[in-house]
Structure 1
Amino acid sequence: MAQKQTQHFVTIKGTKNGLNLILDDSCAFRDVINELDEKLSARHIQQTEGYTITVTLKLGNRYLTTEQEEELRSMIHSKQNLAVDRIDSNVISREEAEAERKRSTVTTITRTVRSGQVLEVEGDLLLIGDVNPGGTVKAIGNIFVMGSLRGIAHAGSDGELEAVITAAVMKPSQLRISELISRPPDQAGTAVHEAECAFVRGGYAEISVDRIQILTKVRPNLTRL
């Protein structure tokens, strides 16, 4: 009679950065915890005195509740020299999905942002109108002004350096992308009569302003609009 093959719910792989713990996403959570506890208690895991091994948990399509995540972290931290560095999952919570939806939404507004007014959105902003001197537009994502930008524009307000600012007439009092700030451009010389864009070049800690046509090269993945 053939011997029944034992099913494994946890796979441990060593990398140059630590350990990857790959957890089966089709079995009961308790089965995963029990097998993980057993394997991490094995002698070859314990022979690591003197330094900390970082652990990455790979959950696949499994979603962890807050309590389950805390139990996993506590059990791993109880082992010698192990510390959870990252948890990777294909599944996100409803709250995370809603936050991502807001970040990826393009909000279209038709109005003039006048002096003293602040217009702020969570995703991208498409403004059909002008930003007057003293007015401010702010977005977590990109800012597209289909008019004159003569006030302040702050794109990537939560730290996104890939964000861009475009305007049909780019005459801002200040441009900000993430935490970077640019001074007003020199107004001397021939006036520019074409749309321009502001962005941060890779490897540079400053904001560049150029013709809008360059966006296809510097931001080839900018396709939300």
Structure 2
Amino acid sequence: MTQQPVVFKGTRKGLSIYIANDAKIEDIRSAADSKLKSGKPFFDGATVNLTFLGREFNSQEQSQLLELFAQYMKIGTVEFTQAPARQEEYPSDDHYNFFDGIEEGMARFVRGTVRSGQRIFYEGNIVVIGDVNPGGEVIAGGNILVLGTLRGIAYAGATGNSSAVVASYCLQPTQLRIAGYITRAPEGETIKPPYPEVAYIKGDQLIIEPYLPGKGKQAESILQTKV
């Protein structure tokens, strides 16, 4: 398998960036920029500690990388580990330890209504004790649970965790996204069932079904687009 020039690994302390020893600075910047763009809703506005491991950089290259990352996040502490990382320590793909599964990771509790114009994001799971109004936005690296009505935008698994779920007492989002899958509310009024629902990825589809076993039939797969 060809080694990627850049691999991101999230930890509780921040973001580790593994750099292939033989990668050129142009390829490193291009690969990092692509990953940062895909995770922009998650990184935007967050303060992130950065640790670069692997390839050695001169001062000019370090400045170029920090300028790139600063376009997508607020940079906290920075560390460049000049000694090349051992081959067996180099991950093969991006990985975020603190929200690896649907039951793992830290959670942020939001008490009250998320109103239009508000934007809530967290690297783990988010629990909203209230409603999410149209124009409100909730972005989580893990799962999203709304103990109320979800009418705004929900983006779970923002860094690529396709095991993440979105659940709500009343699921009526204007936009729903899990990892690389996105769907929007259908036009016109829809009749919502009188029970909670959960959205998740199954196979190559984003589906919604009753959250409580035995309550109603499983909903048909909703139109989704992989991005």
Normalized against structure 2, the TM-score is what? 0.49
Higher helix share: 1
TM-score by length of 1: 0.50
Normalized per residue, the structure richer in strand is 2
Higher relative contact order (CA 8 A, sep 6+): 2
> Which structure has the larger Rg?
1
